[in-house]
Structure 1
Amino acid sequence: MLVLLLAYAITQSVHSDAGSIPASIELRDVASCDELNSQRSIWSIVWSCLSTIFLCTWVAVHPNVHFRSEKRNQRWLEKWLWDPLHELITYKVPLFLWALLVPEYILAWAARQYVQAGVISKKVPEWTRTHGFFMIMGGFHLFRLPADASFTPLPIESSESFIFVVPTGRHLRRDEVPVCPLKFEDFSVETLEIIAPTEIELKDRGKSDALTKIIVLVQTLWFVIQCITRRTQHLPLTELEVVTLAYAVLNLFIYMFWWDKPMNVECPIRAYKTWTASHEEAGEKAAAWNDGRVLVWVEKIINYTIGSQDQYVTISQQCSIPMFWSGRIPDRDLGPVGIGPSILGAAFGAIHCIAWSSEFPSRSELVLWHISCVAMIAVPFIVAIFCSSWAYRNRLKYVLYILATLLLLSAWLYVAGRIATLVIAFTSLRYLPPATFRTVDWTTFIPHI
């Protein structure tokens, strides 16, 4: 639905503006070819914004390991068309829509993983934050060896019983049976010292290096500089550029948290147990959702908002690590971790207020933009207050009830506001002030006599 709306908005804007650029230039009474060449086209504006938004919502997102067991005797059509298409529709597109409609949640997810990766890295000698990220993102997966496979127990000296083995004989890898992802608590420190790769090996598993990340950051930062420069020269920004600017600013913080996280890892490291060995998930048992249909949805919305949904997930029952898994962070730390992203989320909405007094094609679009801006500032602010009160939920029970009610009532308004700003950003392209097409005069920033 959203894609169709955006496509329709672009089509209408382009058709409406096909003759608007020459008209705008004529209104300005351009007298020279130099001034004519200094104009930017609507296509250049759209392309610059869409490419930057794509970098912020698709390229910049560092997903967890989405493990898929290998299938035997696959047909060509299934292997090269159906499986990739299924992966795209069921995993990558939903993650992209989350980043597009609720980018603050992606930032909060990155912040939680950053904190938890730091905690894990301190528990194993010579581990870095990259190792912590790899553990959290589902980088280790349990496999059972075939019944006739030979093996040897890992040579560890530990008082705890971790029944991991190393295969020593010859067998086909496809005969190994995948079981479930593994958490940090499922291993002993001695086992991890043996099977864990080095930091360089972990980065080699990723599909992005430091140079690629720097290029994305430079492109994003360059867009931010251009927008700031246009404002200093009193040149108007289109609503689409304002929306893109908000994504770009938030993306800088997302990249900061995920800088050490391996990107787009598809194959986890295999940890082995024998065919007869049992596996019981270590650590605290997962909590259970309420039985009532209404209550369970209310509980899920609240827990996903503050990032405590991991407390309800039993990893040993999963085929792959959950999409937004970041480890079971203690309740006392969830609030402080969520406050910063929530405040930045409110700032994300506030950036849209740059176009508060812009010229909109219609009064209704102006009013809708204003309402959307207020919603995108207010809802993250409510979340920030909620997170700051979460650590004292036993004392502030009634305050949390009020905040939760406000959050449930306003959540739909926030999503509607996000969609509205995206649609209006394109529909407003059908009418733009003449000064919008002027390019930045960079010579004014160069010292000269």
Structure 2
Amino acid sequence: MMPPPLSPNLIYGWQSSSNDRGTRDILVSSFSTIWLCTWTSLCLNTPPQHTRERPHRWLLHKFRWQLFAIFFPEVLVATAAEQWLSARQSARAFAKLGYPQWTTRHAFFADMGAIIVSPPDSPPFPVDSQQLAFLVEHRFLDLPDISTDEIRSLNKADGLARVVTLAQMGWYGLSCAARGASGLGFCTLEATTLAYILCTVQIFFFWYFKPLDPEGQRVFAMETSVADIWKHSGQDGSYRHTPLDFVKPLPDPKSLITPFWFGLGAVFRPSGDRRRTKHGYPTPVETLANSRVLPQDGISTTLMVYTLFFQVAYFGLHIAFSWISSFPSTVEWYLWVGSNTADFCLIALYILAIPVGTHLAPFLGRWLFGMEATHLLQVAEALPAWAKILIHAPFVFGYVVARAAVIVESVLSLRALPESVYQDVSWTSFLPHV
């Protein structure tokens, strides 16, 4: 692939605002749009109690997720899509049980760890919508009385924040479209910002019914003991997150996010979860992780194809803009295109790993550990910590480095831009003339 010819009339250095726009105008409009997109789109699960009780910890918790949204916005879109599918499937399951009042909004509320059950023989633990349906179906618990208005009240700040963000995104997109129609130049920071807008629109759609920043959890007493539930279901009592882990299915091979989250955890938490009590059982988690999404009916082919198409569109947008954006040098053009291509190839490898590995899982399980496995992640979980790091670290760090190169280049390219990039749009040229 040959790069486009460099602009012969590059302007170097910081450009002040006069009649046209300057460097500060580009930075302010782009960074404010990116900040709004990555902050207001985050509908996170209920954080642990110690995080909720201290405002600075809550802000730090959300800021870490904002950094994640900056580096991996396409992964956040796939996560939101699978959470949306899981909530819809849970709402349909409750409707079949005779509870049509349990909506997608209720399912999101449960899936984000906002419902806690308190059995007599176990510490309280969260249940998602699928686990709650299991308890209700087998009459271990009555359906919690939670109204739609009560859940909607958690979104008091959500509506205004999203309106402001949508207005900013609309104006930014319109301005870029007008620049393209006028034949004016673009910088790479504007291409990056448009990619964030593309992701934010998707997230707003998939998380439309998910509450924003819930401040507490609802606790419901349960008369049936966990031991009786295990006995009724034929379980041995082992679990990793909560005593109702057995209700959840194995990850679907069509999931696009399961291998990513597993690889991220393998690198940064290779030893897994060490929560243990004196009896040997794990202490139940306080809330549900944002990354753990297991739709009860699996991932639909339609959603899988749509998410794949979105990944191609996201990285394709970056590469397409490399032909109309301005770069100070040919080397930086190759760095931009190469980094985006590398990220797309790495995520494609992760996507292919699950279906191929799941097909080989029975053989790998018997050959490596003498175990019967039906899913690749069962084999991967059995690997020692050093093996997990050795396998996943090159992919994870390669992905992060390539993404960081794109973000850094978006800012560094402002040091040398063509004169047309600093020209403002003549909006009067778009008005009809008589």
TM-score, with structure 1 as normaliser: 0.68
What SS is found at the alignment partner of 2:220?
A: strand
CA shift for structure 1 position 355: 3.9
8 Å CA contact 2:140–2:222 kept in 1: the answer is no
Higher gyration radius (CA): 1
User: Which residue of 36, 46, 53 corresponds with 1:55?
Assistant: 36
Give distance in 2, aligned partners of 1:70 and 1:394. 39
1:87 maps to amino acid: W
CA shift for structure 1 position 88: 3.5
1:148-159 to structure 2, matched below 5 A, reads none
What SS is found at the alignment partner of 2:49?
A: coil
Deviations 1:237-286 (A, max 9, x none): 11111110111111111111011111111201121247x95576336267
What SS is found at the alignment partner of 2:68?
A: helix
8 Å CA contact 2:81–2:206 kept in 1: the answer is yes
Give distance in 2, aligned partners of 1:446 and 1:48. 24
What SS is found at the alignment partner of 2:417?
A: coil
8 Å CA contact 2:182–2:425 kept in 1: the answer is yes
Which residue of 2 is the match for residue 414 of structure 1?
399
Which residue of 2 is the match for residue 29 of structure 1?
none
> Aligned pair 1:133/2:104, yes or no?
no
CA shift for structure 1 position 361: 2.4
What SS is found at the alignment partner of 1:440?
A: coil
1:444 maps to amino acid: S
Deviations 1:369-395 (A, max 9, x none): 121122233334445555676886679
8 Å CA contact 1:137–1:321 kept in 2: the answer is yes
1:15-26 to structure 2, matched below 5 A, reads 17-18=13-14, 20-21=15-16
Which residue of 1 is the match for residue 81 of structure 2?
111
Deviations 1:53-94 (A, max 9, x none): 1122121111011130599xxxxxxx7xxx3333333x2233
Give distance in 1, aligned partners of 2:422 and 2:261. 49
8 Å CA contact 2:86–2:296 kept in 1: the answer is no
> Aligned pair 1:92/2:74, yes or no?
no
- Quick check: 211-220 or 49-58, which moved more? 211-220
1:114 maps to amino acid: W
CA shift for structure 1 position 409: 5.3
2:162 maps to amino acid: K
What SS is found at the alignment partner of 1:271?
A: strand
Counterparts in 2 of 1:59 and 1:254: CA distance versus 1, 3 Å: same
Q: Percent identity?
A: 24
> Aligned pair 1:352/2:352, yes or no?
no
Give distance in 2, aligned partners of 1:229 and 1:47. 19
What is the aligned-residue RMSD (CA, Å)? Answer: 4.1
Which residue of 1 is the match for residue 263 of structure 2?
301
8 Å CA contact 1:182–1:316 kept in 2: the answer is no
What SS is found at the alignment partner of 1:432?
A: strand
> Aligned pair 1:197/2:142, yes or no?
no
1:322-333 to structure 2, matched below 5 A, reads 322-326=289-293, 328-330=294-296, 332-333=298-299
User: Which residue of 400, 411, 419 corresponds with 1:434?
Assistant: 419
Give distance in 2, aligned partners of 1:215 and 1:191. 44
User: Which residue of 126, 136, 153 corresponds with 1:188?
Assistant: 136
8 Å CA contact 2:111–2:127 kept in 1: the answer is no
Give distance in 2, aligned partners of 1:250 and 1:299. 19
1:93 maps to amino acid: F
1:204-283 to structure 2, matched below 5 A, reads 204-273=153-222, 278=226, 281-282=243-244
Counterparts in 2 of 1:446 and 1:336: CA distance versus 1, 3 Å: same
Counterparts in 2 of 1:424 and 1:298: CA distance versus 1, 3 Å: closer
> Aligned pair 1:364/2:347, yes or no?
no
Give distance in 2, aligned partners of 1:299 and 1:93. 19
8 Å CA contact 1:142–1:273 kept in 2: the answer is yes
Which residue of 2 is the match for residue 446 of structure 1?
431
1:237 maps to amino acid: F
Give distance in 1, aligned partners of 2:222 and 2:142. 17
8 Å CA contact 2:186–2:326 kept in 1: the answer is no
CA shift for structure 1 position 223: 1.5
Counterparts in 2 of 1:299 and 1:373: CA distance versus 1, 3 Å: closer
Counterparts in 2 of 1:286 and 1:119: CA distance versus 1, 3 Å: closer
8 Å CA contact 2:261–2:291 kept in 1: the answer is no
1:418 maps to amino acid: R
TM-score, with structure 2 as normaliser: 0.70
8 Å CA contact 1:343–1:384 kept in 2: the answer is no
Counterparts in 2 of 1:318 and 1:231: CA distance versus 1, 3 Å: same
Give distance in 1, aligned partners of 2:209 and 2:100. 18
Counterparts in 2 of 1:261 and 1:447: CA distance versus 1, 3 Å: same
What SS is found at the alignment partner of 1:188?
A: helix
> Aligned pair 1:284/2:284, yes or no?
no
Which residue of 1 is the match for residue 270 of structure 2?
none
1:394-405 to structure 2, matched below 5 A, reads none
What SS is found at the alignment partner of 1:318?
A: coil
Deviations 1:91-115 (A, max 9, x none): 2233112211111111111011100
Deviations 1:181-233 (A, max 9, x none): 12332431578775332112101023434454233223213212221221121
Give distance in 2, aligned partners of 1:414 and 1:70. 29
Which residue of 2 is the match for residue 153 of structure 1?
none
Counterparts in 2 of 1:315 and 1:439: CA distance versus 1, 3 Å: farther
Deviations 1:421-447 (A, max 9, x none): 111111111112111111112222222
1:138 maps to amino acid: G
Counterparts in 2 of 1:60 and 1:45: CA distance versus 1, 3 Å: same
1:88 maps to amino acid: L
What SS is found at the alignment partner of 2:124?
A: strand
CA shift for structure 1 position 364: 3.2
2:115 maps to amino acid: F
Give distance in 2, aligned partners of 1:278 and 1:396. 35
Counterparts in 2 of 1:108 and 1:429: CA distance versus 1, 3 Å: same
Counterparts in 2 of 1:273 and 1:396: CA distance versus 1, 3 Å: closer
